[in-house]
């Protein structure tokens, strides 16, 4: 385990010491008020992990929180192409730098590369903070008396589940119930643990999320940064779907319907898909964070890698573009085709009209990033519902769910009427790739649908014309060298 959170253990010890003598110091300060103050700070730290540079424990310029791994996953599967490289990070022969490792599938086939440590550290450090909060609230099975305490516990459980879910996606080739994949830590400052099986990891994920849903029943979150009841339901829908059990897809559909109904969010409309990805207040966002100048995000940020209108690598020499072959599948009448610039030269197929700083100054000022981070959209639940319905053979209902999204993208949906069975599933998967390009969600869809990646177009530096199965070693990170060296229960072979 990483010692990053030692300060919280020290803080807890200080708090407990304070409680034993508080009456002699200040009779007006109650134990409960100090509890809630510290819990509130820990909750803020928990969410800050999602956007803080260096949260993966490295100095890499590609270490900036949860959005790092959204970026990594789109690069791994090839839907995001590295179409230019002035800095030389990306060619196959260069194994220096985190992004280079990801582009060439170097880190995913060699556990000694730093990228593996980064993924592992980010999510396990998040789990450590969540465990600190859970312990502070009385443990997994606690039943706090006040609503505020229940809401703290519910958020911590949901965030722990979210981290284990992503670890299970990034660190395991595929869903194999009996395969041992990850150590489970349910308490802060735990000793090293052996790997648990996939089914045990998902049992914890589901247990945490079901408890969170109950604990967050009446929680009114102050902003979209926080997890509330319907956000816990959304994560649970993803977790159940990832287990590939057709008999449980009715549960996924029900959860999707509950989130769609209770969130109040609407599918991003025709205008918003080319103008709504820099503002958390966009109605289609259900989870995201308002990035402010006080957060001091600059080049080392998600925007610092994808946006030509920020002071960024994307502007200065390392462009991220949609895969040429994927772009070619987008119908000419589809508004999402307009998210990407078409022209000769450096900016070709870059998302100049999807992800951009609102001032739209190429290269942007060298100041702080203020464009927001999007973690989840309501459209994800609509397409996950459509996917689940199609797998159950409910083709008509699946077409309706798909049409709810595409009616805001295409002027004519008549072609959907002829789709059924495997063709319909293929279309839903294609629309998932197009809709969530650059948002990190296609990787999840590829794994839960046992798909091949798309055949890479000629605007890639490497693997042009190649495709990979969902369980290919090159698409999955390795348990890092540091864990193998320090955890006595894990070695390179197991």
Would you state the pLDDT for residue 22? 32
Give CA–CA dist 214/218, Å, rounded. Answer: 9
Output the domain CATH number for residue 16. Answer: 1.25.40.390
> What is the pLDDT, as a whole number, of residue 330?
98
pLDDT recorded at residue 11 = 45
Grade residue 101 by pLDDT with cuts at 50, 70 and 90: confident
In the structure, what pLDDT confidence band is assigned to residue 94 with cuts at 50, 70 and 90? very low
In a domain, 309, yes or no: no
Number of domains in the chain: 1
In a domain, 413, yes or no: yes
Judged against a pLDDT cut of 70, whether residue 5 lies above it is answered with no
What are the pLDDT digits (tens) for 329-366? 999 999 999 999 999 889 999 999 999 999 999 999 88
pLDDT at 80: 97
pLDDT at 318: 84
DSSP one-letter code for 454: P
- Of 459, 471, 442, which is closest to residue 343 (Cα–Cα)? 459
Query: What pLDDT, in 10s, does the model give residues 430-442?
Result: 999 999 999 999 9
In tens, the pLDDT along 134-176 reads 999 999 999 998 999 999 999 999 999 999 999 999 999 999 9
pLDDT of amino acid 85: 62
Domain membership of residue 253 as a residue range: 6-273+375-486
Q: How far is CA 141 from the centre of its chain?
A: 27
Written as six digits, the tokens of 142 are: 């606690």
CA distance 330 to 338: 10
pLDDT for residue 98: 63
Residue 360, in any domain of the structure = no
Calpha distance 300→65 (Å, rounded): 10
> To the nearest 5 percent, what fractions of the chain are helix, strand and coil?
50, 5, 45
**CA torsion, points 160, 165, 167, 170, in degrees to nearest 10?**
-160
Contact 384, 241 (CB under 8 A): yes
The answer, yes or no, to whether residue 324 has pLDDT greater than 80, is: yes
Residue 281 has pLDDT above 90, yes or no: yes
Q: How far apart are CA 293 and CA 310, in angstroms?
A: 14
Q: What pLDDT, on a 0 to 100 scale, did the predictor assign at position 494?
A: 60
Residue 315: inside a domain: no
- Does the pLDDT at position 1 exceed 60? no
Q: Has residue 163 been placed in a domain?
A: yes
> What pLDDT sits at residue 459?
94
Which residues contact residue 472 at a Cβ distance below 8 angstroms, ignoring those fewer than 6 apart?
173
Quote the Cα angle for 434-436-442, to 5°: 90
Q: Which helix (H) or strand (E) holds 317?
A: none
**Which residues pair with residue 289 across a beta bridge?**
373
Average pLDDT for the chain: 91
Alpha-carbon gap, residue 410 to 483, rounded angstroms: 49
Residue 285 · residue 416 · CB < 8 Å? no
Report if residue 370 sits inside a domain.
Answer: no
Distance, in Å, from the CA atom of 320 to the CA atom of 72, rounded to the nearest integer, reads 12
The closest alpha carbon to 261, from 159, 162, 381, belongs to 381
**Any domain includes 286:** no
Q: Which distant-in-sequence residues (6+ apart) come within 8 Å of 470 by Cβ?
A: 174, 446, 447, 449, 450, 451, 452, 453
Mean pLDDT to the nearest integer, 103-126: 95
Residue 54 lies inside a defined structural domain of this protein: yes
Q: How far is Cα 221 from Cα 228, in angstroms, rounded to an integer?
A: 6
pLDDT in tens, 385-413: 999 999 999 999 999 999 999 999 999 99
Cα–Cα distance, 426 to 420 (Å, whole number): 10
Q: What's the confidence (pLDDT) of residue 14?
A: 37
Among the listed residues 328, 331, 349, 355, the one whose alpha carbon sits nearest the alpha carbon of residue 273: 355
Q: Which H or E run contains 180?
A: strand 180-183
Q: Tokens for 359? A: 């001032």
pLDDT level of residue 86 (50, 70, 90 thresholds) = low
Number of Cβ within a 10 Å radius of residue 266: 14
Render 6-52 in DSSP notation, one character per residue. Answer: HHHHHHHHHHHHHHHHHHHH-TTS-HHHHHHHHHHHHHHHHHHTTT-
Confidence (pLDDT) at 317: 81
H or E segment and range at residue 399: helix 395-406
Q: pTM value?
A: 0.93
pLDDT at 19: 32
């Amino acid at each position: 385990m990483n010692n990053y959170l030692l300060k919280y253990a020290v803080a807890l010890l200080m708090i407990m010491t304070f409680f034993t003598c508080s009456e002699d110091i200040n009779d007006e300060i109650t134990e409960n008020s100090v509890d809630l103050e510290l819990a509130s700070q820990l909750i803020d730290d928990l969410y800050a992990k999602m956007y803080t540079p260096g949260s993966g424990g490295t100095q890499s310029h590609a270490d900036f929180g949860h959005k790092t791994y959204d970026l990594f996953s789109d690069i791994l599967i090839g839907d995001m192409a590295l179409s230019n490289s002035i800095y030389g990070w990306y060619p196959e022969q260069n194994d220096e730098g985190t992004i280079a490792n990801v582009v060439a599938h170097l880190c995913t086939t060699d556990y000694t590369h730093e990228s593996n440590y980064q993924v592992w550290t980010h999510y396990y450090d998040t789990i450590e903070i969540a465990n600190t909060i859970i312990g502070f609230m009385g443990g997994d099975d606690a039943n706090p008396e006040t609503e505020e305490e229940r809401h703290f516990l519910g958020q911590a459980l949901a965030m722990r589940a979210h981290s284990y879910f992503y670890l299970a996606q990034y660190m395991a080739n595929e869903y194999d119930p009996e395969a041992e994949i990850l150590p489970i830590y349910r308490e802060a400052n735990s000793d090293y643990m052996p790997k648990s099986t996939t089914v045990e990891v998902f049992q914890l994920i589901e247990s945490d999320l079901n408890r969170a849903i109950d604990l967050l029943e009446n929680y009114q979150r102050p902003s979209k940064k926080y997890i509330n009841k319907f956000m816990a339901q959304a994560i649970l829908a993803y977790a159940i779907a990832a287990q590939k059990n057709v008999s449980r897809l009715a549960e996924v559909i029900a959860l999707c319907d509950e989130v769609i109904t209770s969130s109040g969010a609407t599918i991003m409309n025709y205008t918003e898909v080319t103008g709504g990805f820099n503002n958390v207040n966009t109605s289609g966002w259900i989870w995201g964070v308002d990035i402010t100048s006080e957060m001091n995000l600059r080049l080392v940020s998600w925007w610092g890698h994808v946006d030509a209108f920020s002071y960024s690598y994307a502007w200065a020499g390392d462009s991220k573009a949609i895969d040429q072959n994927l772009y070619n599948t987008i119908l000419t009448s589809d508004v999402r085709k307009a998210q990407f610039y078409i022209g000769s030269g450096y900016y070709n197929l870059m998302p100049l009209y999807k992800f951009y700083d609102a001032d739209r100054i190429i290269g942007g000022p060298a100041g702080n990033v203020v464009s927001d981070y999007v973690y989840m959209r309501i459209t994800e639940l609509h397409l996950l519902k459509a996917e689940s319905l199609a797998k159950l053979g409910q083709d008509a209902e699946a077409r309706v769910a798909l049409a709810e999204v595409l009616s805001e993208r295409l002027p004519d949906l008549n072609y959907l009427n002829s789709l059924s069975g495997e063709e319909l599933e293929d279309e839903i998967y294609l629309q998932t790739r197009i809709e969530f390009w650059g948002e990190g969600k296609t990787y999840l869809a590829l794994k839960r649908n046992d798909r091949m990646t798309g055949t890479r177009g000629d605007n890639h530096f490497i693997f042009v014309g190649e495709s990979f199965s969902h369980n290919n070693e090159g698409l999955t990170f390795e348990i890092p060298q540091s864990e193998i060296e320090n955890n006595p229960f894990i070695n390179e072979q197991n």
